[in-house]
Amino acid sequence: MLDAKILVVDDNKSVLSALEILLQFDYKSVKTLFNPNQISSFPKLEEIDIILLDMNFSAGVNTGNEGLFWLKEIKKRSPNTSVIMMTAYGAVDLAVRALKEGASDFVLKPWNNERLMATVKSAYELRKSRKEIHQLKKKESHLKQVINEDKNNIIGNSRALTSVLNLVKKVAKTDVNVLITGENGTGKELIARELHRLSSRKNEVFINVDMGSIAENLFESELFGHTKGSFTDAKEDRAGKFEAAHQGTLFLDEIGNLSLQTQAKLLSAIQNKSIVRVGSNKSITVDIRLICATNCNLQQMVADGLFREDLLYRINTIHIEVPPLRERKGDVVVLSNFFLKRFANKYDKPGLRINNVAQEKLEVYPWPGNIRELQHTMERAVILSEGNVLKPNDFLLHPKTSQSFDEGPKTLDEMELHMITRALEAHDGNYSAAAEQLGVSRQTLYNKMKRLKVDGQ
């Protein structure tokens, strides 16, 4: 017995009885309706797999318009239900109209039992396929949401970052190729994701490919896919990253790491907007938004013969330079507190804060590793913290890269703040020792800290 629900709608009770008897041995549930007006209020109509629907209900009327009307009503409420129209001989043209309106099939009255059962079975298979497709689309939609889910937010309000984000907003709505450059750890992938989020492709997938991690002999297979048996480990057909990103965004990170040979293959795919799987001769058209990123100077690589000039032109319609953290004045504190909150929640250490002296230390540090270094520094500080206040010594920074006095503050207030911070840091927050080092009294140090709004606790 098949796990299917069937509804028969006919104004002839003999027809209802005959079909109920015929179908009940092969199908889990068979219900009948004598009055088609009850279709509108039929409970959970969307759960019905198959409806057998008569085309005429009024005596002496053979136009089939009533059946077509109720077919449309059923499709409004339950578009995936298979509807089989029942009509008399001579009304085949009406059945054809019904098929155009969305009916799955039709049967003629009087029917042949074997043919009717075969028609119902086919309608059931169609219904199953529609349900499976619906479920796959739901899963695909959920998968896209998971893949496209922001791993991080773009945090900061500095002038340098705001300028970049304004450019992103202008470019995102177009489909032009974008090249994102910047030092390691500046957040190039976040900018790429923001371009995708603001684009017309935002509901499609964002595919991220680290070009630096792909071995040259696997380049074509990874990006263009392969067919079964095309090489030793090719045990089945596999789509590449270009196909996976179809109608979405393809982000090629570290594109400066490609050899000249692989650059030529990539250029061909971008120019032709199509790929050929390894082991196949069939060209597959792909529709992608291409975004590339690198920390290399591609112009210099072109001059040195290490990067194809024609490929650079292809990927560089719009160039976005992501500023290093040291040029984003004011963003270090904002980012520090963002990471502090995240890791305090992660490691169950509520109430943590950074004192002003420590904030000054973080602000004057040049952050050669940019946001990634700041993130790791904050995580380490939170993990090792013993109190509710993070102080300068809680942050392990590389002294060789710390800002020198000559490169540092230029105004008198900035110089005083810098010197007080360094003194407090050197003496682990001991005011007396810091005051002695600075050659002032403890009270003078207090007064200066109050004026400069330095929190030493």
The answer to the question of residue 378 being in a domain is: yes
Shared domain for 81 and 216, answered yes or no, is: no
Phi, psi angle pair for 230, to nearest 5°: -70, -20
The answer to the question of residue 146 being in a domain is: no
Shared domain for 214 and 338, answered yes or no, is: no
How far is it between the farthest Cα atoms of the chain? Answer: 113
Beta carbons within 10 angstroms of residue 233's beta carbon: 8
Cis upstream peptide for 110 (omega within 30°): yes
The answer to the question of residue 444 being in a domain is: yes
Beta strand 283-285 with 274-276: parallel, antiparallel or unpaired?
antiparallel
Count how many Cα atoms sit within 13 Å of the Cα of residue 295 in the half-sphere of its side chain: 13
What does 234-289 look like in DSSP terms, one character per residue?
Answer: --S-B--HHHHTTTSEEEEESGGG--HHHHHHHHHHHHHTEEE-BT---EEE---E
Over residues 142-195, the pLDDT tens digits come to 565 555 555 557 899 999 999 999 999 999 999 999 999 999 999 999 999 999
Shared domain for 355 and 375, answered yes or no, is: yes
The answer to the question of residue 150 being in a domain is: no
Shared domain for 182 and 317, answered yes or no, is: yes
The pLDDT assigned to 3 comes to 84
H or E segment and range at residue 133: helix 113-148
The answer to the question of residue 391 being in a domain is: yes
Shared domain for 317 and 336, answered yes or no, is: no
* Residue given tokens 């540090």 in the structure block: 365
Shared domain for 334 and 304, answered yes or no, is: no
The answer to the question of residue 154 being in a domain is: no
The pLDDT assigned to 73 comes to 92
Beta carbons within 10 angstroms of residue 245's beta carbon: 25
Q: How far is CA 221 from CA 166, 254, 287, in A?
A: 37, 18, 19
Over residues 344-377, the pLDDT tens digits come to 999 999 889 999 888 888 988 999 999 999 999 9
> 436 or 67: whose pLDDT is higher?
67
Domain total for the chain?
Answer: 3
The pLDDT assigned to 294 comes to 95
Q: How far is CA 3 from CA 27, 29, 52, in A?
A: 6, 8, 17
CATH number reported for the structural domain that contains residue 75 in this entry: 3.40.50.2300
Q: Which of 266-270, 358-362, 388-392, 437-441 bottoms out in mean pLDDT, i.e. has the lowest?
A: 437-441
The answer to the question of residue 244 being in a domain is: yes
**Buried-state track 163-184, b at ≥16 Cβ within 10 A, e below 16:** ebbebbeebbeebebbbbbbbe
Shared domain for 260 and 347, answered yes or no, is: no
In terms of average pLDDT, the best of 55-59, 70-74, 178-182, 243-247 is 178-182
Helix (H, G, I), strand (E, B) or coil at 337: helix
Shared domain for 96 and 44, answered yes or no, is: yes
The pLDDT assigned to 50 comes to 94
The answer to the question of residue 341 being in a domain is: yes
Query: Which domain-ending residue is among 278, 304, 323?
Result: 323
Rounded distance between C-alpha atoms, residue 392 and residue 360, angstroms: 9
Helix (H, G, I), strand (E, B) or coil at 28: strand
> 50 or 229: whose pLDDT is higher?
50
CATH number reported for the structural domain that contains residue 311 in this entry: 3.40.50.300
Query: Which domain-ending residue is among 307, 323, 339?
Result: 323
Shared domain for 389 and 369, answered yes or no, is: yes
Shared domain for 181 and 58, answered yes or no, is: no
**3-class SS shares of the chain: helix, strand, coil, % to 5:** 50, 15, 35
Residue 265, domain extent? 159-323
Query: Are 256 and 300 in contact, with CB atoms under 8 Å apart?
Result: no
- Angle value at C-alpha 226, between 222 and 230, nearest 5 degrees: 125
Q: The whole model's pTM is what?
A: 0.62
Shared domain for 183 and 205, answered yes or no, is: yes
Query: Which domain-ending residue is among 91, 121, 136?
Result: 136
Shared domain for 252 and 123, answered yes or no, is: no
